[in-house]
Amino acid sequence: MAKRRIRNLRALVRAFFGGARAREAERQAELGRLRFRDGQAIPHHIAFIMDGNGRWATSRHLPRSMGHRAGVEALRRVVRLCNDYHVPMLTVYAFSTENWGRPADEVSALMGLLWETIRTDVDRLNSEGVRLRHVGRLEGLDQDIQDAIHWMEDLTRNNDKLELNVCFNYGGRAELVDAVHEIIAAKIPPDQVTEETISSYLYTRDLPDPDLIVRTGGEMRLSNYLIWQAAYAEYYSTATLWPDFGEADLVAALDAYASRKRRFGKTDAQLAAESNAENGNDASPVEAAGDANPSRNGTYPQAARH
Ligand code: FPP
């Protein structure tokens, strides 16, 4: 009797770990598939609009603040996934300049959540090589939050395994207004103000533009998010609510990105010619354009983007 129980227990343990091994093998195969199939198709920089926390909470009869708390959990998961999938930079929209208009208890919950998350997660993220940046206006945030932001930025300044930018008290229009004020204060003559000048006065001056914007929660708008930087980003919207966003959702977004043609305002033939020139290949532009479009997998050099 006892022997049979032990046999059953062993079979159960084998089944459990065998299942976990199979799942891990499946996951590795999926990672391998993406890297192999898409080469450089993995976007360098994904910017997320983490929408749907409120609906997630309401559908469970929970206060909205619990949805935001579940949103932080999803963010932890997505940082891990981006690392697994070799996405080196992500930017998240955590609090917009317009969010000040939400009920006071929700605003205060979001402020508290940022402070708490910095306190609980930054040491671990630092030891994992993650660089953290704040993007947005510091002015208007409580002093303890500003101090926490300075601390996390200083601590992680030399990390380069993955870069996580948190847009907090961020608005795309406010960012442009701030940039114009600074340009005027710097007395730059109007005829010397170029697109590069403006980019260099944005909060994101040190960051590359996003390649892909992912919005959860099903809406199809930018909501004042990175409006200058997103000029040539690919856009992807999913009905999944942010707290539910997981590996399958990220893979779907990456697959969608890999299938897009990025032309940056040019024609297929021009881009094929540029790509051939880069690779030292002298095939005619027309011939090359008939080929699988090289822009489809995002392999264009950064220089071609501007
Ligand atoms: C939009 O969902 C989400 C926000 C306004 C806040 C996003 C914040 C987090 C995910 C957590 C905070 C992050 C950090 C880094 C502390 P919504 O509330 O508008 O959702 P709804 O459309 O369903 O109402």
Kindly tell me if the per-residue pLDDT of 8 is higher than 80.
Answer: no
Q: Could you identify the atom of ligand 1 that is nearest to the CA of residue 67?
A: 18
Q: Are 182 and 205 in contact (CB under 8 A)?
A: no
Q: List, in order, residues 6 or more apart from 56 with CB less than 8 Å away.
A: 67, 70, 71, 241, 242, 243, 244
Q: Is the CB of 145 under 6 A from ligand 1?
A: no
Q: Could you identify the atom of ligand 1 that is nearest to the CA of residue 243?
A: 10
Decide: pTM greater than 0.85: no
Task: For residues 118-127, give the mean pLDDT.
Answer: 98
DSSP the chain: -HHHHHHHHHHHHHHHHHHHHHHHHHHHHHHHHHHHHHGGGS-SEEEEE---HHHHHHTTT--HHHHHHHHHHHHHHHHHHHHHTT--EEEEEEEEGGGGGS-HHHHHHHHHHHHHHHHHHHHHHHHTTEEEEEES--TTS-HHHHHHHHHHHHHHTT--SEEEEEEEEE-HHHHHHHHHHHHHHTT--GGG--HHHHHHTSTTTTSPPPSEEEE-SS----TTSSTTGGGG-EEEE-SS-GGG--HHHHHHHHHHHHT----TTS-HHHHHHHHHHHTT----HHHHHHSSPGGGGT---GGGG-
Task: For residues 250-271, give the mean pLDDT.
Answer: 84
Give, using CA atoms, the residue closest to atom 6 of ligand 1.
94
Residue 15 is predicted with a pLDDT of: 60
State the first-to-last Cα distance of the chain, in angstroms, to the nearest integer: 75
Q: Is the CB of 215 under 6 A from ligand 1?
A: no
Q: Are 44 and 208 in contact (CB under 8 A)?
A: yes
Among 59, 65, 68, which is best to mutate for testing ligand 1, by the most ligand atoms less than 8 A from CB? 68
Kindly tell me if the per-residue pLDDT of 35 is higher than 50.
Answer: no
pLDDT single digits (tens) 129-153 = 999 999 999 999 999 999 999 999 9
Annotation marks residue 51 as catalytic:
yes
Kindly tell me if the per-residue pLDDT of 285 is higher than 90.
Answer: no
Task: For residues 160-178, give the mean pLDDT.
Answer: 98
Q: Is the CB of 166 under 6 A from ligand 1?
A: yes
Ranges for all domains in the chain classified under CATH 3.40.1180.10:
43-259
Annotation marks residue 279 as catalytic:
no
Residue 260 is predicted with a pLDDT of: 86
User: Which one is predicted more confidently, 305 or 265?
Assistant: 265
Of 26-30, 111-115, 172-176, least confident by mean pLDDT is 26-30
Q: Give me the CATH code for the 43-259 domain, please.
A: 3.40.1180.10
Write down the catalytic residue from 99, 159, 224, 293.
99
Kindly tell me if the per-residue pLDDT of 169 is higher than 60.
Answer: yes
Q: What is the mean pLDDT of the chain?
A: 86
Give, using CA atoms, the residue closest to atom 8 of ligand 1.
94
pLDDT single digits (tens) 189-226 = 999 999 999 999 999 999 999 999 999 999 999 999 99
Q: Is the CB of 69 under 6 A from ligand 1?
A: no
Q: Could you identify the atom of ligand 1 that is nearest to the CA of residue 74?
A: 10
Q: Could you identify the atom of ligand 1 that is nearest to the CA of residue 93?
A: 7
Q: Is the CB of 66 under 6 A from ligand 1?
A: no
